[in-house]
Amino acid sequence: MFEFLSDLFGSQIIAAFISAALPLVFIVPFVIFAVWLERKVSAHMQDRLGPMRVGWHGWLQTIADFFKLLQKEDIVASDTDKKFFNVAPYIVFAGTYLVFAALPFSSAYIGTSLDIGLFYIIAVSGLVVIGILMAGWASNNKYSLYGAMRSAAQIVSYEIPTAIVILSIVMFTGTLSLSEISDNQTAYFWNWYIFGGPDWGLTKFLVLPFMIIGFLILYISTLAEVNRTPFDMPEAESELVAGYHTEYSGIKFSMFFLAEYGNMFAVSAIVSVIFFGGYQSPIGYLGDALAANWLIPFEQLFWFAAKGIFFVFVQMWLRWTLPRVRVDQLMTLCWKYLIPYSIVNLIIIGIITLI
Amino acid sequence: MLTEFGKIFVFLLVAIIFVAVSIFIAKLIRPVRPTKEKLKTYECGENPVGTPWIKFNIRFYVVALIFLIFDVEVVLLFPWALSYKEYGFYGFLVGIIFLVILAVGMAYEWRKGDLEWARPKPNIPYLKKIIKNQTGEINQLQSEESKIE
């Protein structure tokens, strides 16, 4: 994609800017869709209808909300630390957006083909914590500070099981590049790493149960990393109003919202790349059958988005299924269950890979 | 020539430009009518009491410290995970010894209770005495309570 653009424009800088802006074209419509989906899913799970007035089944509701937010007055309370208060939305959004740089949307498009993609993603997702802490501290509001502290403790704690599970995948695959991991799982769905990877042999069947355990640990901890229920302590509406963005209004609030939903998709996409083949189709390509090679990247984009949105849907589903956990339960789950399990899982996968 | 990390820098620029542009557009069309009440810190409609910049629970600091140890460990293990197969069983053992040392450290922290989060003590209701004669017992309890008072 980058080569194509730089040939087209004759300048690498312009090409880099255009290829860097492409995920934005994906994120913004996705967030508009996801917010609508969230409201619809929660409504139907509670036997309500949800938004119905604006457009067919309310599908324009989020766009209307967006224009409303754009026109809202931007209130910066007089006691806030204005410098940090204004910088925080930039950092939170940048932390989310930088993750998208390493996600392979299809075999034709990846922001940066880094060799150390997984490592890079773990590193930059930490940037969000700084933004959240900054927002909470600068707001000069008790709810914000509590929300920010809880959020930071939660995100850093759950980063460890995430990193250890990713480590075990790295041991199994021998690569850190996300596009290489996706390419390994080509052809049919039994080649996905959740089913033991593409190599048929004893290893595949030995490693299968541990891959499923790894997937469960990774999914639970990514759920906690994006502050979703049952781990939505930082934004627990019934006790902390809106958590770290209580003081934000108008467009700055919507930037936090955008970052949050973007993060939801990003972690779902990471899970789908690692365990569910990423952009690879589970049943073969239509482009191969029709001998139309240009169709394949678009199909891959479709599968990537479909898998990502499926996991986002599961997050919403869990939100209306499970009650919120307490802070001590949250920390117990992370430090006493997920981390020891993931270390044992890492050792077992290491031994199996060695055989 | 743009390296891969140069492209990441461009991503960062695009993110910042996007936020800046949307805030600028909003600035053009939104009203600005601040009042004293509006600019007050939100505290459920009440006047804010005290400063929120307080001393915080030490637990958060302990969690951050333990996180730091584990994060450094993970960073050190990534190169090992990529290349341990080349050294066979010996290479695997080296990483495992490293992991075991950390696991022992974690077990020590666990035993010391640093992983325990302060939790509310359960308030389980219980009966002080077994009631034999209902009316008589209640009368007795009431008289005891009145004595204490």
Contact at CB, A153 and B95, closer than 8 angstroms:
no
Q: Using an 8 Å Cβ cutoff, are A169 and A163 in contact? A: no
pLDDT of residue B143: 52
Q: Using an 8 Å Cβ cutoff, are A102 and A110 in contact? A: yes
DSSP state of A189: G
Distance between alpha carbon A121 and the CA centroid of its chain, in Å? Answer: 10
Q: What percent of chain A has pLDDT over 70?
A: 98
Nearest CB to B19 within list A80, A247, A255: A255
What homologous superfamily is domain B9-112 in, according to CATH?
Answer: NADH:ubiquinone/plastoquinone oxidoreductase, chain 3 (1.20.58.1610)
HSE (CB half, 13 Å, CA atoms) of B67?
Answer: 19
Restricting to B residues 53-112, those with a Cβ less than 8 Å away from any Cβ of A are: 53-54, 56-57, 59-60, 63-64, 66-67, 70-71, 74, 77-78, 81-82, 84-85, 88-89, 92, 95-96, 99, 103, 106, 110
Cβ-Cβ contacts under 8 Å, A170 against chain B: 78, 81-82
Cβ-Cβ contacts under 8 Å, A233 against chain B: none
pLDDT of residue B129: 59
Question: What b-and-e string marks burial along B107-130, b requiring 16 or more CB atoms within 10 Å of the CB?
Answer: eebeeeeebebeeeeeeeeeeeee
pLDDT of residue A351: 86
Q: Using an 8 Å Cβ cutoff, are A232 and A169 in contact? A: no
Rounded Cα distance between A182 and A118, Å, is 12
Cβ-Cβ contacts under 8 Å, B99 against chain A: 343, 346-347
Instruction: Indicate if the pLDDT at residue A259 is higher than 80.
Output: yes
Tokens of A68: 């409303």
Q: Using an 8 Å Cβ cutoff, are A125 and A264 in contact? A: no
Three-state SS sequence of B59-111 = HHHHHHHHHHHHHHHHHHHHHHHHHHHHHHHHHHHHHHHHHHHHHHHHHHHHH
pLDDT of residue B130: 57
pLDDT of residue B137: 53
Cβ-Cβ contacts under 8 Å, B86 against chain A: none
Alpha-carbon distance values, A247 to A82, A238, A250, B27, B48 (Å): 12, 16, 10, 18, 13
Contact at CB, B18 and A241, closer than 8 angstroms:
no
Instruction: Indicate if the pLDDT at residue A137 is higher than 50.
Output: yes
Counting one residue from A and one from B, how many pairs have CB atoms under 8 Å apart? 204
Helix ranges, chain A (H): 2-9, 12-45, 61-71, 82-100, 117-124, 127-138, 142-173, 178-184, 202-225, 237-240, 250-275, 286-289, 295-319, 327-332, 339-354
Report residue B61's pLDDT band, with 50, 70 and 90 as the boundaries. Answer: confident
Q: Using an 8 Å Cβ cutoff, are A355 and A177 in contact? A: no
Instruction: Indicate if the pLDDT at residue A48 is higher than 70.
Output: yes
Spatial CB neighbours of A315, under 8 Å, sequence gap ≥ 6: A223, A226, A228, A264, A268
Please report, as a single letter, which amino acid is at residue B109: E
CB-based contact (8 Å) between A11 and chain B? no
Restricting to B residues 129-148, those with a Cβ less than 8 Å away from any Cβ of A are: none
Every domain of chain A and the residues it spans? 72-354
pLDDT of residue B30: 83
| ipTM entry | 0.84
**A89 preceded by a cis bond (ω within 30 of 0):** no
pLDDT in tens, A68-123: 888 888 888 777 888 888 888 899 888 888 888 888 888 777 878 788 888 888 88
pLDDT of residue A256: 86
Distance between alpha carbon A173 and the CA centroid of its chain, in Å? Answer: 22
Q: Using an 8 Å Cβ cutoff, are A114 and A175 in contact? A: no
Cβ-Cβ contacts under 8 Å, A335 against chain B: 66, 110, 115
Report residue B118's pLDDT band, with 50, 70 and 90 as the boundaries. Answer: low
The torsion region of residue B119 among left (phi > 0), alpha (psi -120 to 50) and beta comes to beta
Q: Which of A53-57, A211-215, A283-287 has the lowest mean pLDDT?
A: A283-287
Nearest CB to B8 within list A76, A90, A98: A98
Mean pLDDT of A304-323: 88
Q: What percent of chain B has pLDDT over 90?
A: 1
Instruction: Indicate if the pLDDT at residue B116 is higher than 80.
Output: no
Q: Which of A18-27, B100-109, B115-124, B136-145 has the lowest mean pLDDT?
A: B136-145
DSSP state of A326: P
pLDDT in tens, A189-216: 778 888 877 777 777 788 888 888 989 9
CB-based contact (8 Å) between B7 and chain A? yes
Q: Name the burial class of residue A189, with classes exposed (0-12), middle (13-18) and buried (19+) by CB atoms within 10 angstroms of its CB.
A: middle
Report residue A236's pLDDT band, with 50, 70 and 90 as the boundaries. Answer: low
Report residue B149's pLDDT band, with 50, 70 and 90 as the boundaries. Answer: very low
CB-based contact (8 Å) between A354 and chain B? yes
pLDDT in tens, B34-57: 888 777 777 777 777 777 777 777
Contact at CB, B85 and A174, closer than 8 angstroms:
yes
pTM of the model: 0.84
Contact at CB, B78 and A170, closer than 8 angstroms:
yes
Every domain of chain B and the residues it spans? 9-112
Distance between alpha carbon A337 and the CA centroid of its chain, in Å? Answer: 23
CB-based contact (8 Å) between A344 and chain B? no
Mean pLDDT of A24-34: 88
Alpha-carbon distance values, A102 to A111, A200, A274, A305 (Å): 6, 29, 13, 15
Mean pLDDT of A37-65: 86
Average pLDDT, chain A: 84
Q: What percent of chain A has pLDDT over 90?
A: 1
Q: Using an 8 Å Cβ cutoff, are A159 and B67 in contact? A: yes
pLDDT in tens, B71-112: 888 888 888 888 888 888 888 888 888 888 888 888 888 887
More confident residue, A354 or A344: A344
Restricting to B residues 112-131, those with a Cβ less than 8 Å away from any Cβ of A are: 115-119
